[in-house]
């Protein structure tokens, strides 16, 4: 009985961790897509977006998770 409870508890904790990780991954993907659709003029003011320069000299709006919200 005790063993069954412990197994159920471990399974519930693991399932919760997976759910949180999945939700975070979906949120990051949505933010990346949102930033890519924003124009360069609006990018600096957008939440968690920043202008990024590529190796070939081009610029684009990209997801910046470490950007501080103003």
pLDDT in tens, 27-60: 989 999 999 998 989 988 888 899 888 888 888 9
pLDDT of residue 54: 82
Which has the closest alpha carbon to 45: 69, 65, 66, 27?
69
Which residue is associated with the tokens 């999945």?
A: 22
- Cα(50)–Cα(5) distance, integer angstroms: 48
Residue 8: pLDDT above 90? yes
Q: Following DSSP, what letter does each residue of 20-65 receive, concatenated?
A: HHHHHHHHHHHHHHHHHHS-TTTGGGSTTEEEEE-TTS-EEEEE-T
Tell me the average pLDDT of the chain.
Answer: 86
pLDDT band at 70 (very low <50, low <70, confident <90, very high): low
Residues β-bridged to residue 61: 51
pTM here is 0.62
Domain chopping of the chain, boundaries:
2-63
């Amino acid at each position: 009985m005790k063993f069954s409870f412990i197994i159920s508890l471990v399974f519930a904790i693991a399932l919760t961790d997976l759910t949180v990780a999945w939700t975070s991954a979906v949120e990051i993907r949505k933010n990346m897509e949102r930033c890519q659709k924003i124009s360069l003029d609006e990018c600096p003011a957008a939440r968690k977006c920043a202008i990024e320069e590529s190796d070939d000299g081009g610029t684009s709006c990209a997801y910046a998770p470490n950007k501080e919200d103003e």
